[in-house]
Amino acid sequence: MKRKDIPTHSLIGWDRGLTDELIIFESSKTQQLFPYYKCKYEFEYKDGNDVKLFWEIVHRSISNWYGVFQLYYFIKTSIWMTLFPWLVPFWSDAFHGGRTIHNWGNPFVKFRICTETAYEYLEGRCKKEKLTETERQLIRVNANNVFPLFLLDMLLTITNSGEMTQNPNY
Q: What is the mean pLDDT of residues 37-57?
A: 89
pLDDT at position 116, please? 93
pLDDT at position 113, please? 92
Angle between helices 71-83 and 88-95 (to 10 degrees): 130
Mean pLDDT across the chain? 90
Residues 6+ apart with CB under 8 A from 65: 29, 30, 111
pLDDT at 37 over 90: no
User: What residues does each domain of the chain span?
Assistant: 3-166
pLDDT at position 170, please? 54
Q: Is the dihedral of CA 68, 71, 76, 82 positive or negative?
A: negative
pTM of the model: 0.89
**Tens digits of per-residue pLDDT, 74-130?**
999 999 999 999 999 999 999 999 999 999 988 888 888 999 999 999 999 999 998
> CA 170 to CA 157: how far, in whole Å?
20
Q: What is the mean pLDDT of residues 8-22?
A: 80
